[in-house]
Amino acid sequence: MNAKLTQRARKAIVAGIERNDSVAELAKLGVEIRTIAALEKHLGIIYLEDLVCVTSEQVCEVPNLGAKSQASIIDALCRYHEIDSCFILQHEAMLARKARRWRTYRVNPPN
C-alpha cells in the first residue's frame, strides 16, 4: 500500500514482519474486525507482510471496503510502532519474570 510512513513506523513494520505478525494485530490500532476479515477473505491477506505488498487499488476493489476502511488501515500502519512498543514491553516483562525466578531458584534450590 502506498502510505507515507515515518521511519519509526517502517522499522516497527519490519520488526512485525520478522515476528510474522498477523493483520489481526491491526485491530489493536482501531481497524475494524470486518475490514480485517474482508482482507483475509478477498485478498488472502493473513500476515502483515502480505498487507504491505498489496496496492491501494487492490484494497479498493475489495467489496464493501471503501476509502474510510483504507484510511483506517493506513492510519494503523502509520502507528504500528505502538504495537512494536507493546511487544518490546511485554518481552522485557517476561525476561524480568524469568530473572526473578532464576534468582529465587539460585537462592532456594530444590532439594
pLDDT, tens digit (0-9, with 9 covering 90-100), for 58-108: 888 898 888 888 888 888 888 877 766 666 666 677 777 878 777 666 666
User: pTM score, two decimals?
Assistant: 0.62
Task: Identify whether 63 is part of a domain.
Answer: yes
Task: Identify whether 50 is part of a domain.
Answer: yes
Question: What's the CA gap between 87 and 90, in Å, rounded?
Answer: 5
Question: What's the CA gap between 23 and 33, in Å, rounded?
Answer: 10
Task: Identify whether 88 is part of a domain.
Answer: no
Instruction: Output Rg (C-alpha) for the chain, integer angstroms.
Output: 18
Task: Identify whether 73 is part of a domain.
Answer: yes
> Domain containing 40 — which CATH number?
1.10.150
Q: Could you tell me if 98 and 28 are in contact, meaning their C-beta atoms sit under 8 angstroms apart?
A: no
- Residue-wise pLDDT tens digits, 3-42: 577 788 788 888 888 888 888 788 888 888 999 899 889 9
- Count of domains observed in the chain: 1
Task: Identify whether 75 is part of a domain.
Answer: yes
**Parent domain of 52:** 7-81
